[in-house]
Amino acid sequence: MKNTDLLKGSIWKSIFYFSIPLLIGNLFQQLYNTVDSYVVGNYISSHALAAVGQSTSIINMLVGLFMGLSTGAGVIISQYYGSESYQECKDAIHTSLAFTFILCIVFTIAGISMAKPILHMIGSPQEVLPLATSYLQIYFAGISFMLIYNMASGILRALGDSKKPLIYLMISSIVNIIFDLIFVLVFHWGVQGVAIATTLAQFVSALLVLFQLTHTKEIYQVKIKEIRLHKNMLSRIISIGFPAAIQNSIVSFSNVLVQSYISKFGASAIAGYSTTVKLDGFLQLPIQSFSMAVTTFVGQNYGAHQFERIKKGFRITLSMCTTIIFIGSMLLYFNSQWLIGLFTNDTQAIQAGMTMISVFAFGYIFLPVCHISAGALRGIGQSKIPMYSMIFCFVILRQLYLYIATRFHPQLVTVFLGWPLTWVLNAIIMIIFYRKCTKQLIYAFSK
């Protein structure tokens, strides 16, 4: 259970061993909504499956905002830890938690009040709207637990501990599965039961990770009486985290708008898209994990002024991630019908999902470049570059493409092409800026 040392030793082993718990943890995180989709798709109805699917994009929109801010906290904490500035590290930790508790109130109110208006905005079908609204409002009523877990586990990861958050997430995922089955199959609570099960599971994970932070004997021990906002520290966290927060939320909002195009093709298209998004989420787990790992690796080594190690770590991380994604995309492509069929027997939904996978499969190879570069740039405090690039590619260009292309060719495949086309462009932009920033960084510190 020792923390991974990212400042010395074999680079590939450090990143690999640090990434594995992240990967498994993200796998269990993905299981939350996947289990929800499996249960409602097989034991309730395709309309319930569409409701959960539409809810996921809206949840990601608000949660993405918070995750960007937690990224800023993680970068600051890892930099102080790498430079052995332990008092500043503790101040950053306590400020991060105080900020999280404030945001818990904001996100709960915003999520509950915005649920139905957003579903109306994206053209949710009448047969799906009541179920999706109910699911979303229950989910956001308990969103505080998810926010607390993600910030607290992010603190542990910034200090090199990616194992304990994994254990807590595994426990909560098992809790989620058990209550999903009980509430749906035994109590017949439908979509509401699935949302309640998820909330209870997130409560468990938040409780466990807070207990770890408050009872540890390490330097990062959290003391309740010291949880407060340090003005300068909060300013640093926001300066790095806000660009990532804006990027995450706007990109997620763009995906919500994309659903308005998919909604035009009916409930089966929504169900097919919703199911395939879950499969897509599993494939992107290595990307998320390696991106989180390289942010912490770069942050700690930046604090220690080990710039050559940063460059080598980036190349190794990108190579490992790209290899895994290529293999995974091919497996997804050749097994798409069977995988989608696990969630629904609606033939139209299965066909829509297969269309999406056939379009995405050969574009996935560009995503590691996008996200590993972004993670490395955030690690050195340059979070605005990924924000500008991803908003430009994934929001502005994608929406322009959809608006124009669907007028000339109003087919589902036209909508799906909007993703890989913008992935390619963003990959080119990100690698150019990563190389430029690292050269400037090394030159500045060599003087």
Q: Three-class SS string for 50-96?
A: HHHHHHHHHHHHHHHHHHHHHHHHHHHHHHHHHCCCHHHHHHHHHHH
What gap in Å lies between CA 355 and CA 411, rounded to an integer? 11
End-to-end CA distance of the chain: 40
Structural domain count, the chain? 1
> CA separation (Å) from 405 to 123, 265, 408, 410, 412?
20, 16, 5, 7, 11
Whole-angstrom distance, CA of residue 324 vs CA of residue 2:
26
The pLDDT of residue 445 = 57
Residue 4 lies in a domain: no
pLDDT of residue 360: 93
The pair of structure tokens assigned to 86 is 């332990």
pLDDT for residue 9: 83
Q: Is 80 exceeded by the pLDDT of residue 42?
A: no
Q: Is residue 158 part of a domain?
A: yes
pLDDT value, residue 4: 64
**Within-domain flag for 3:** no
Percent of the chain predicted with pLDDT > 90: 35
Nearest to 53 by CA among 142, 122, 150, 153: 122
Q: What is the pLDDT of residues 345-376, one digit of tens each?
A: 888 888 988 999 999 998 999 999 999 999 99
**Is residue 61 over pLDDT 80?**
no
CA atoms of 99 and 68, how far apart (whole Å): 13
The rounded Cα 396 to chain-centroid distance in angstroms is 21
Residue at 192 is within a domain: yes
Residue 198, domain member (yes or no): yes
In a domain, 196, yes or no: yes
Does this model's pTM top 0.85? no
Mean pLDDT over 278-292 rounds to 87
Q: Which residue has the higher pLDDT, 126 or 441?
A: 126
Asked whether residue 5 is assigned to any structural domain, the reply reads: no
Instruction: Please check the confidence at residue 98 and state whether its pLDDT lies above 80.
Output: yes
What is residue 1's predicted lDDT score, i.e. its pLDDT? 43
Please check the confidence at residue 187 and state whether its pLDDT lies above 50.
yes
Domain coverage including residue 259: 11-446
Q: How far apart are CA 4 and CA 382, in angstroms?
A: 24
Question: Which of residues 57 and 168 earns the better pLDDT score?
Answer: 168
97-101, 162-166, 318-322, 440-444, range with the lowest pLDDT: 440-444
The mean per-residue pLDDT over the stretch 227-247 comes to 87
pLDDT of residue 241 exceeding 50, the answer is: yes
Structural domain contains residue 2: no
Closest CA to 430 of 313, 324, 291: 291
Report pLDDT for 345. Answer: 82
Mean local confidence (pLDDT), 92-104: 94
CB 272 within 8 A of CB 352: yes
